[in-house]
Amino acid sequence: MATKKCSCKKAGCAKATSPAAKKAVPAKAAKAVAKKAAPKPVKIFHDKDVDTSILEGKTVAVMGYGAQGRAQALCLRDSKVNVIVGVRPGKSFKAAKNDGFPVMSVDKAAKQADIIHILLPDESHKDVYAKQIAQYVTPGKTLCCSHGFAYVFKNIVPPEGVDVIMVAPKGPGTEVRRVFEEGFGCPGLVAVFQDASGNAMKTALAIAKAEGLTRGGVLECTMQQETYEDLFGEQNVLCGGIVDLMKYGFETLIEAGYPPEMAYFECIHEAKLIVDIIYNKGIAAMNAVISNTAEFGEYYNGPKIITPDVKARMKESLKRIESGEFAKVWMKESAKGAPTLAKKRALLAQHPAEVVGAKIRKLFER
Which residue among 46, 117, 125, 147 is the active-site one?
147
Q: Is 90 left (phi over 0), alpha (psi -120 to 50) or beta?
A: left
DSSP state at residue 366: -
What sign does the dihedral 226-232-237-238 (CA atoms) show?
A: positive
Alpha carbon distance 256, 262 (integer Å): 12
117 is catalytic: no
The SS3 call for residue 137 is coil
Alpha carbon distance 233, 190 (integer Å): 18
CB 82 within 8 A of CB 207: no
Alpha carbon distance 4, 295 (integer Å): 10
H/E stretch holding 220 reads strand 218-220
Largest CA distance in the chain: 74
Catalytic residues: 147
